[in-house]
Amino acid sequence: MSWVPVSPNSHFPLQNLPYGVFSTPGQPQHRIGVAIGEQILDLSKVSHLFSGPLLKGHQQVFREATLNSLMGLTKEHWAEARATLTQLLARDCATVRDSSLKETAMVPQSCATMHLPATIGDYTDFYSSLDHAKNVGTMFRSKENALMPNWKYLPVGYHGRASSVVISGTPVRRPNGQTRPVETEPPKFGPCRLMDFELEMAFFVGGSCPALGDSITAQQAGEHIFGMVLMNDWSARDIQKWEYIPLGPFGAKNMGTSISPWVVTMQALEPFAVANRSEERRVGKECRSRW
């Protein structure tokens, strides 16, 4: 439990504590906060309280305008930050609750404007849902040729336009582009008539980067995934159908990609982890073959 009032139906209990970047009318500078109930704990006001053995030399990351520097630390730093936040907001902790910090560091979410949580230099969108791949393949080709031969072997993806990533709620304009509605006629230029939206998960990655050309294995991925947001990959399907061969999406995907403002950390999601079902099936087959 927290000393901050939290509704039983809130998305932001003490067990969540997602990170975001916000501003207020009285202080327009972008700053990092953590959601708790209907409030935001302004980390720029409490950065000096991150005094653990790993973070005492990195307190400046909580005073910056994006999460990039915090995400650039290690998984151990992230865990220490979460432990500190959990302690500061716990019901029996008086450090913020009974001090003047409470007046300056606690901001109602209703008074805040949310911003992109990080400067996004690049992103890769993966085509990893079987149902989605079949639906789109059927739309573009046929039911018999829905999946391309490489789909079940590669992590198929494309690099999107990072400058078009926007926070949820930002208007996305219907794009103009080339389409070919009649196969026997030349393409036409005009507004998209088949706008599509998709519910996806997006991962923010960080940690220490390897040298250019070095690899990060799948087993090491957990050391680099900072947290997750919801994502809407807006798609102009009629434009995409005409342009995607041979090099993939371009104008059909660059008009906007929406993400939710709060980054839920992997530490917060750990209690809900489940076994890899494909691994379970593989082990099950091995056990049956042994018997």
Q: What is the pLDDT of residue 283?
A: 45
> Whose CA is closest to 155, among 115, 125, 195?
125
pLDDT, tens only, 62-73: 999 999 999 999
138, pLDDT greater than 50: yes
> Whose CA is closest to 51, among 81, 89, 82, 93?
81
pLDDT, tens only, 88-103: 999 999 999 999 999 9
177, pLDDT greater than 50: yes
Share of the chain above pLDDT 90, in %: 70
CA angle 266, 272, 275 (to 5 degrees): 100
Q: What is the pLDDT of residue 281?
A: 53
pLDDT, tens only, 77-130: 999 999 999 999 999 999 999 999 999 999 999 999 999 999 999 999 988 888
User: Stretch 135-150: mean pLDDT, rounded?
Assistant: 88
Concatenate the DSSP letters of all residues of 64-114 into one string: SSSSHHHHTS-HHHHHHHHHHHHHHHBTT-HHHHTSTHHHHHEEEGGG-EE
- Give the CA count within 13 Å in the CB-facing half-sphere of 144: 0
Q: Is the pTM of this model over 0.85?
A: yes
280, pLDDT greater than 70: no
> Whose CA is closest to 171, among 255, 55, 67, 57?
255
291, pLDDT greater than 50: no
Q: Any idea which residues carry the catalytic annotation? A: 132
Q: Cβ contacts of residue 113 below 8 Å, gap of 6+?
A: 22, 23, 24
Q: What is the pLDDT of residue 49?
A: 98
> Whose CA is closest to 66, among 19, 122, 125?
19
3-state DSSP of 266-287 = HHHHHHHCCCCHHHHHHHHHHH
CB 240 within 8 A of CB 146: no
